[in-house]
Amino acid sequence: VPIPVAVKKKPTASLLKGQTKVVSIGKDGLAVERWEVVRHDGIEKERHLVERQVVRQPVNRVVAVGILQTVSRGGEGLRFARVLEMRATAYTYLVAGRNTASGIPPRQGIAAVDPQVIPLGTRLYVEGYGHALAADKGSSIKGNEIDVFFPTRAEALAWGVRNVKVYILE
């Protein structure tokens, strides 16, 4: 008796959301069964499984399922793996050191993050700010918080504090 394959879905950021790709076809298993059949006047009345022995285990079919998403900003399609709702603040040279935590000088497009949430070196798109690189960390940045860099104090103050969507880019 054939044992049908099970389908194992494996999320992957190498495919767009909604796309799938068969990674491994899989193979049906095989079982041998022994049944006890009760007949009355040649007509089957009951059937009981007495023994079932698996001769060959089935091999799962593996299907990659895309999780990569896209968002369009100004006509530019951005591919992202996930989006976070974050509390965003701003900083400037007055509070920035000579270099960021990753060793590069602070400049427009640099963001301070909690490395437990967003690893340093991650490319981002911050709603209302634009492209950024997670290259700095701040002692007060914890959890779903982000601090975006502006070259002037006036720009940093104008940004203020706001809730934004932060796209983790591929």
The structural domains of the chain, ordered by start, are 2-64 (2.20.230.10), 74-169 (2.40.40.10)
For the chain, what is the mean pLDDT?
88
Averaged pLDDT for residues 28-54 = 94
Whether the per-residue pLDDT at 73 is higher than 70: the answer is: no
CB-CB contact of 133 with 123 (8 Å): yes
Whether the per-residue pLDDT at 139 is higher than 90: the answer is: no
Helices (H), 57-137: none
- φ/ψ (deg, to 5) at 128: 85, -10
**Pick from 89, 113, 110: nearest CA to 99:** 110
- Percent of the chain exceeding pLDDT 70 equals 91
**Pick from 132, 124, 137: nearest CA to 168:** 124
Averaged pLDDT for residues 18-30 = 92
Q: Residue 25: pLDDT band by 50, 70, 90 thresholds?
A: very high
Q: Residue 147: pLDDT band by 50, 70, 90 thresholds?
A: very high
Whether the per-residue pLDDT at 49 is higher than 90: the answer is: yes
**Interatomic CA distance for residues 10 and 16, integer angstroms:** 13
Indicate the pTM of the whole model.
0.57
Q: Is 71 left (phi over 0), alpha (psi -120 to 50) or beta?
A: beta
Which tens digit of pLDDT belongs to each residue from 74-125?
Answer: 556 677 888 899 999 999 876 655 788 888 888 999 999 999 999 999 999 9
CB-CB contact of 90 with 148 (8 Å): yes
Residues in a beta bridge with 77? 72
